[in-house]
Structure 1
Amino acid sequence: MKAVQQEVTVTLTGAGRPQMLVWGEQAFPVRAVLDQWRYGGRWWLGEVPRDCFLVQAGELTAELHREDLPVNRWWLTRVQD
């Protein structure tokens, strides 16, 4: 997996799972959530907890992180090379 660390736009299903990933100018429909976990963050460095998803979105296999605070932000953290 290749590190990316870019803020992205994600739309959600009614159940709160990723439905669409928009990265740059391109939209990727999420076909499957392959894994989901909660990361507590390194609190001693000021990191906030986040929900993490490994998704198959179009031709991408991508890891998405959603930060709860201070605002609901989504990050594309890694993509499969």
Structure 2
Amino acid sequence: MPQAGHPRHLSWQGRTWAVQAILDQWRSGGRWWLGEVPRDCYLVQAGPLTAELHREEGGRWWLARVQD
């Protein structure tokens, strides 16, 4: 079950899925030479999807990839 500050839901192709489990998490420093900021990364299980979600230090979430 996700903890505070971890992803709770994801939206993909017009549907919203509750995050059921966090399978892995890590911190990426970003490609500093391109000006990318560090981010927290999560591999999650949400319904039938396995997805990689990223959160930048400013709090913005984005879906990096999904497997169904």
TM-score, reference length from structure 2: 0.85
- Report the aligned-residue RMSD: 1.6
Unaligned runs of 5+ in 1: 1-12
Instruction: Map 1:69-80 to 2 at 5 A.
Output: 69=58, 72-80=59-67
Give the structure 2 partner of residue 54 of structure 1.
43
SS for the counterpart of 1:18 is coil
Q: Which runs of 5+ in 2 are unaligned?
A: none
What is residue 14 of structure 2 aligned with on the other side? 25
Aligned structure 1 segments of 4 or more residues deviating by more than 3 angstroms: none
TM-score scaled to structure 1, two decimals? 0.73
Aligned residues: 67
Between the two structures, name the one with larger relative contact order (CA 8 Å, sep ≥ 6): 1
CA distance in 1, matches of 2:11, 2:65: 14
Amino-acid identity (%):
69
* Distance (Å, rounded) in 1 between the aligned partners of 2:30 and 2:66: 20
